Amino acid sequence: MRPEILFPLFKPVTALKGVGPRLGKLIEKLAGGRLVDLCWHLPTGLIDRRFRPNVADAPDGAVVTLTVTVDEHHPPSNRRLPYKVLCSDQSGTVSLVFFNAKEDYLHQLLPLGATRIVSGRVGHYGAEIQMPHPDHMLAVEKEAELPLVEATYPLTAGLTAKPLHRAIHGALEQTPELAEWQDPAWLAREKWLPWRPALLAAHAPGSQDALQPGDPARRRLAYDELLANQLALAMIRAANRGRAGRAIVGDGRLRQALATALPYKLTQGQEQVLGEIQADMAVQQRMLRLLQGDVGSGKTIVALLAMLGAVETGAQAAFMVPTEILARQHFDTLTALCRDLPVRIQVLTGRSKGRPRQALLSDLADGQIDILIGTHALFTGDVIFHDLALTVIDEQHRFGVHQRLNLGDKGVAADILVMTATPIPRTLSLTVYGDMDISLLQGKPPGRQPVDTRAMPLSRLDEVVAGVQRAINQGARAFWVCPLVEENDLLDMAAAEERHATLARLFGPERVGLIHGRMKAKEKDLAMEAFVAGRTQVLVATTVIEVGVDVPEATIMAVEHAERFGLAQLHQLRGRVGRGGQKSHCLLLYAEPLGENARARIAIMRETEDGFRIAEEDLRLRGTGELLGTRQSGFPEFRLADAMAHQDLMEVARDDAQLILTRDPHLETERGQALRALLYLFERDAAVKLLRSG
């Protein structure tokens, strides 16, 4: 149960005075629907109202605070014109301008002859000085209520600053004083405030420096969030380590037969990570290992050899992938590799229905299937294994921590091997995979050639199309990637459907396929199959093909509007070509003019194929939230921490979390109880439940 002291923070924003359903929806869209979300919505700018010139000296465009006398009200002659209130001091006159104003309200606020303090941005229009919609209008005796330095927050369409300010202040007023969860010596060394004063300080910046990630109040809050994250991961790891495992040691006959049949030798990198995986499987403790390998480094064969190790003992293995296309592709690949081995492989996806599905599930429960490949359909309750010993999860960032543990629960202490081709900088791998051991697969299989990467403006599109046509006339196959499915007037981007129509007209409709996320699964499979078989030579696609799709014959990757993709995404897309022995090309087509970040991204793509360097650069250029080009990537979405700016804190948080659990594994001490509140505050409730369940 969430501690009672935190209840006020988890009330809906509509519980605040003045926040009705309409305003509540806007706030929820911007920051989240609870008071705690408003607390985490930190300011990004500030307005300094300390500049108090005479009216005549107020510079054009500046924010000023004026003391003036109200001289005249000028209601508009028709509703489209503004309402003006003329005010003056000894130096000149300023017009306060209001659109859609209520006359009674303005007379009440600005009575004729009264002296008022007004603050806002002034504009010069010919000889007239105007202040449209002043931010503050106060009687002189209420001068103390004027905020001299005022924080500004990110907004969303339909939501203005004033109601958001009021809501945030309302939320902050309800924040409780919480027991200190930080180590006292660390707190003193960093000279940090307690949690609540630090939160209030972060919302009341006195200077531009106070808006930076290095500000002490912001560092304190960032560390709280990082510690909650690391503590939760360490608890999940400890719980997983504490669960009984089983030793899985096969006799090597299937692995030896496969190694002999392969037309190539495993690389040194593959041998090394395979050794780490097999050592984990051989002990009486559950494996939870991440295999991180760059695009095309040969992870699939490592996964197959690990699964064969489980099959040799008479047990079963599961191979889970994020899409149906990949599930079917892995099925074809593994079946081909194991064609001379006594290994029974099947595939289960959301499309498996009716009697065939029931027959497959029956075979699985009877132990008639050795390796089952599938999508998240493997999580469903009716999927029962006879004896699941190893689960391999591909492209982990598409699934959450709990899903990977759920699949492990389908077997008796099943080992879990997670794979990703998305290189993740060390800093981030701590935040995402802190509960796992990590193997890095270095190097690429022999025969892989570097991909020739070029950048060209979209103004040269005709040349690119002509070049692709020449290549496919000589038998080449090409991917053509667009960032949207259908034309959107707001974004001047090539849509996949429109590009498909154009290329089909030029190359011939039978030569050009189309695949995008809005197509039905069967349509996607048919389009992919036609391209793999060579019935179509150009596949126009959205980023559906970003992860794992393997067509060794494809040698051209054209990416339209490359400036709109993240580096990691571009790297994944480029990894779809250069998988066979032939020379491959990646064409990055961009719209001019290029922004500074986009120019840097494209330059890095041309310089290197090293996924880890690319990931570091991507993190530096774009920050964590956008690292994978999408925000729903399963990466923890930090509200207060910044992976680059707070790198040092992330390392400390990891060490602190391990030390805490060594000294107080059940969080029962005074500090332990405070840390439980911290976990609930940052919604790492699942970790607390693990404590309770032992």
The answer as to CATH 3.40.50.300 being correct for domain 253-441 is yes
Residue 211: predicted pLDDT: 95
Helices (H), 587-633: 596-607, 611-622
Residue 51: predicted pLDDT: 96
Q: What is the mean pLDDT of each run of 10 residues along the chain (694 residues)?
A: 93 95 95 95 94 96 97 92 96 95 93 97 95 95 93 92 94 97 95 97 94 96 94 82 81 94 89 95 88 83 96 95 85 93 93 89 96 88 91 68 53 80 68 73 76 94 95 94 65 71 94 87 84 93 69 92 85 85 91 87 89 78 46 58 84 92 93 95 78 51
Characterize 555-573 residue by residue with b for buried, 16 or more Cβ atoms within 10 angstroms of its Cβ, and e for exposed: bbbbbbbbbbbbbbbbbbb
Helices (H), 313-391: 324-337, 354-365
Beta partners for 149?
48
- Architecture of the domain delimited by 47-152: Beta Barrel (2.40)
Q: Distance between CA atoms of 225 and 683, rounded to whole angstroms?
A: 10
Q: Distance between CA atoms of 610 and 61, rounded to whole angstroms?
A: 48
Q: Distance between CA atoms of 584 and 477, rounded to whole angstroms?
A: 10
| Main-chain phi, psi angles of 66, to 5 degrees | -115, 150
Tell me if 253-441 shares its fold with 451-608.
yes
Break the chain into its structural domains and give their ranges.
47-152, 253-441, 451-608
The CATH homologous superfamily for domain 451-608 is P-loop containing nucleotide triphosphate hydrolases (3.40.50.300)
Q: Distance between CA atoms of 628 and 215, rounded to whole angstroms?
A: 28
